């Protein structure tokens, strides 16, 4: 990005108005006068809307109003040195150095790149003093362009003077300088994020403590090493938005504030963090304390890493499935089982004041059905997009979604989505790690990475992978359809039941669930197999938490410790809602007795569900979507049978398998793993 600022965009010591609105309007008019925007009033409106959300005045006499606007044609930076200064809301008074950052509405990364570079420069005293001492517009342009990377600095910066640690600052923990970690983030993820990071870093150096900051910007972030977090005495969250992966800091004393306080009062924040570290009753970061000491991602095996990536994709996909599936089920409930036959035509050709032949029920049912089908249509794309996101962060989302959409076009199904998401994510990650020239870095996350990763991942899907995967999916569906015409369909129910209960929400469970959901859209009165599969999967997935709830709270309370009895109470609701993970606490404590018991009950439920020809039109919800299940009695009988079998089996195993033998077996399993 060249010539973001020119002499025509600089105003030195000229009166631009008595308030900040007048200053912003004047700078917007200057941008238009230079042919870099088409409508000064539109640009002003967009910048003023941003100003009203959060004032842009900063300590040290600085203000950075900014906006993305459809009126802007060229990313621009206008500057004014004001005499006298104008109040932009900073705590220490008026601003005499004002920057207006104007970017096109579709040039998000360019806007953010300029903001981040400028923001970090504003924390350097030599930069602001140079602007105040500049004698001409050309001097200002040279100083700013050097700061934002558009020209080499005329004079190399002098080495920073060493700052001696404070001899006695009181910022000690256990007789040594405190160790503090911090996270900074703001709504835009650039300006205040990095200014707060630099302010805290400088304040920590001045105070003589060990302080490391993780700025969580809009284009991703470099996570702090696990050992740095583990050894920290306290945490500072100077954020305006949620901290990403907060469980990493679980158990640490914490001080929370808005990001601006990190800029304006870094010394006070550090003092409060050290005080919290020395206070046993201080507020701490919630969550699983073991997460704070977990090994960094780089040490995970490839198998564990792929498992985490796939589960991330599934977790983001489920809201599309759950919401869409329930809407489809409601559409059937209101409009009848044949509502889908004409639903799309009904919503286009009719309205509340021009109802179809079936009346209001058909119209409303069609509306719900179409919304649900639309939501379900994102299933594979969302799965692929968020698999790529788990690998490459935000730059991976777009190529992942595209690869997922291509998988749908190629009839490659959810397996194609998984493969496309993995391809897109790893390609995006590789491209993002390339050492790009400075002028190109701003375009990497928004243009280069999505473009190249989409071409590679989707191109491979179209040219080489899509057809073989589609053939595999077609063969699997044909096989299942053939089984549906014989008694062998019961075997399918057994297999699905075993998969649903094998790892209680883990990869095997999710593969079975994703397979059932992916085929649901192809179900019909003439082809009920997808509905049969969905019912078997849902019923079997409900068995583990319900079985453990039954065993621990009703049948054998004395065999379970108090904490598991409490977990059992919660497991009733989790199981009823089809959340298999409700049984994980029991399986984690006693895997060799719990998991086989759950698999046995799941197999029974899956087999009975198929035997009773139970159909489910909804992909999630458990007993809360009984209106979408038929026959209801068959579903409930299959569920009850599997629950009782699992509960009795786990009780029998706990009673008759010697604890010593079990402990030795579990130790062998742990060593093998």
Alpha helices per DSSP H over 285-396: 302-335, 343-349, 359-376, 379-392
Tell me, yes or no, if 501 is annotated catalytic.
no
What is the Cα–Cα distance from 479 to 533, expressed in whole angstroms?
A: 13
* Annotated catalytic residue within 66, 111, 192, 620: 66
From the number of C-beta atoms within 10 Å of its C-beta (0-12, 13-18, 19+), residue 204 rates as buried
| Beta-carbon contacts of residue 7 (< 8 Å; ≥ 6 apart) | 137, 138, 140, 141
What is the Cα–Cα distance from 25 to 78, expressed in whole angstroms?
A: 11
DSSP state of 447: I
From the number of C-beta atoms within 10 Å of its C-beta (0-12, 13-18, 19+), residue 330 rates as buried
Residue of 211, 208, 210 lying closest to 162 (CA atoms): 208
Per DSSP, the three-state class of 475 is helix
What is the Cα–Cα distance from 83 to 539, expressed in whole angstroms?
A: 74
Cβ–Cβ < 8 Å for 558, 550 = no
What is the Cα–Cα distance from 376 to 408, expressed in whole angstroms?
A: 12
Tell me, yes or no, if 66 is annotated catalytic.
yes
* Annotated catalytic residue within 111, 186, 501, 620: 186
Ramachandran angles phi, psi of 215, nearest 5°:
-75, 125
- Please give the distance of CA 556 from its chain centroid, rounded to a whole number: 41
What is the Cα–Cα distance from 223 to 183, expressed in whole angstroms?
A: 10
Residue of 491, 527, 531, 534 lying closest to 513 (CA atoms): 534
The H or E element spanning position 185 is: strand 179-185
What is the Cα–Cα distance from 302 to 314, expressed in whole angstroms?
A: 18
Per DSSP, the three-state class of 148 is coil
What is the Cα–Cα distance from 11 to 15, expressed in whole angstroms?
A: 9
Residue of 72, 73, 94 lying closest to 16 (CA atoms): 94
| Beta-carbon contacts of residue 397 (< 8 Å; ≥ 6 apart) | 385, 386, 388, 389
| Beta-carbon contacts of residue 608 (< 8 Å; ≥ 6 apart) | 493, 634, 637, 638, 641, 642
What DSSP string describes 477-533?
HHHHHHHHTSTTHHHHHHHHHHHHHHSSSSHHHHHHHHHHHHHHTT--SS--HHHHH
Cis preceding linkage at 371, omega within 30? no
φ/ψ region of 505 (left if φ > 0, alpha if ψ in -120 to 50, else beta) reads: left
| Beta-carbon contacts of residue 156 (< 8 Å; ≥ 6 apart) | none
Between CA 560 and CA 570, with CA 564 as vertex, the angle to 5 degrees is 135
Rg (CA), the chain: 30
Active site residues: 66, 186
């Amino acid at each position: 990005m060249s010539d973001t600022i020119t002499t025509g965009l600089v105003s030195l010591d000229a009166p631009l108005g008595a308030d900040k609105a007048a200053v912003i309007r004047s700078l917007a008019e200057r941008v238009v006068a230079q042919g870099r925007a088409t409508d000064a009033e539109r640009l002003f409106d967009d910048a003023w809307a941003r100003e009203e959300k959060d004032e842009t005045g900063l300590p040290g006499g600085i203000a950075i109003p900014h906006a993305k606007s459809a009126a802007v044609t060229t990313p621009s930076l206008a500057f004014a040195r004001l005499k006298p200064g104008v109040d932009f809301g900073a705590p220490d008074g008026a601003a005499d150095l004002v920057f207006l950052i104007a970017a096109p509405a579709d040039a998000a990364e360019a806007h953010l790149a300029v903001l981040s570079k400028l923001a970090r420069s504003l924390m350097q005293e030599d930069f602001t003093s140079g602007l105040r001492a500049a004698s001409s517009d050309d001097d200002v342009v040279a100083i700013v362009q050097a700061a934002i990377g558009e020209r080499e600095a005329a004079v190399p910066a002098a080495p920073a003077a060493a700052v001696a640690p404070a001899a006695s600052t009181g910022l000690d923990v256990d007789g040594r300088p405190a160790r503090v970690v911090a996270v900074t983030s703001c709504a835009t993820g650039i300006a205040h994020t990095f200014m707060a990071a630099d302010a805290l870093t400088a304040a920590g150096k001045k105070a003589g403590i060990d302080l490391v900051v993780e700025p969580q910007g809009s284009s991703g972030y470099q996570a702090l090493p696990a050992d740095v977090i583990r050894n920290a005495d306290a945490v500072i969250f100077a954020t305006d938005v949620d901290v990403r992966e907060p469980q990493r800091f679980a158990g640490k004393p914490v001080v929370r504030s808005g990001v601006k306080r990190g800029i304006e009062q870094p010394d006070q924040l550090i003092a409060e963090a050290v005080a919290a570290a020395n206070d046993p009753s201080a507020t701490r970061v919630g969550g699983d304390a073991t997460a704070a000491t977990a090994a960094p991602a780089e040490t995970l095996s490839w198998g564990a890493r792929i498992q985490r990536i796939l589960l991330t994709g599934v977790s983001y996909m489920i809201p599309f499935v759950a919401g869409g599936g329930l809407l489809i089920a409601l559409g059937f409930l209101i409009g009848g089982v044949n509502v889908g036959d004409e639903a799309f035509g009904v919503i286009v050709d009719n309205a509340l004041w021009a109802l179809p032949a079936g009346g209001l029920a058909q119209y409303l049912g069609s509306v719900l059905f179409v919304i649900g089908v639309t939501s379900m249509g994102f299933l594979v794309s969302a799965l692929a997009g968020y698999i790529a996101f788990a690998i490459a962060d935000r730059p991976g989302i777009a190529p992942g979604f595209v690869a997922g959409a291509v998988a749908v076009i190629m009839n490659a199904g959810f397996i194609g989505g998984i493969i496309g998401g993995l391809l897109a994510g790893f390609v995006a990650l590789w491209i993002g790690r390339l050492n790009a020239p400075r002028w190109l870095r701003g375009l990497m996350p928004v243009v280069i990475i999505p473009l190249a990763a989409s071409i590679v991942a989707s191109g491979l899907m179209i040219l080489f992978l899509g057809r073989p995967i589609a053939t595999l999916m077609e063969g699997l569906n044909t096989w299942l359809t053939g089984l549906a015409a014989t008694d062998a369909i019961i075997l399918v129910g057994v297999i699905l039941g075993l998969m649903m209960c094998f790892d209680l929400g883990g990869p095997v469970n999710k593969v079975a669930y994703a397979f059932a959901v992916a085929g649901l859209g192809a179900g019909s009165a003439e082809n009920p197999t997808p509905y049969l599969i969905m019912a078997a999967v849902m019923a079997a997935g409900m068995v583990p938490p319900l079985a453990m709830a039954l065993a621990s709270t009703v049948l054998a309370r004395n065999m379970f410790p108090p904490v598991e009895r409490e977990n059992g109470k919660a497991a009733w609701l989790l199981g009823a809602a089809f959340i298999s993970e409700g049984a994980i606490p029991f399986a984690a404590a006693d895997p060799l007795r719990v998991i086989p018991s759950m698999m046995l009950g799941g197999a029974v439920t899956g087999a009975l569900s198929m035997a009773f020809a139970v159909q489910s039109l909804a992909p999630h919800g458990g007993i809360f979507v009984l209106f979408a299940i038929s026959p209801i009695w068959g579903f409930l009988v299959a569920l009850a049978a599997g629950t009782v079998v699992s509960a009795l089996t786990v009780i029998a195993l706990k009673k008759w398998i010697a604890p010593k033998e079990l402990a030795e077996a579990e130790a062998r399993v742990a060593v093998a793993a």
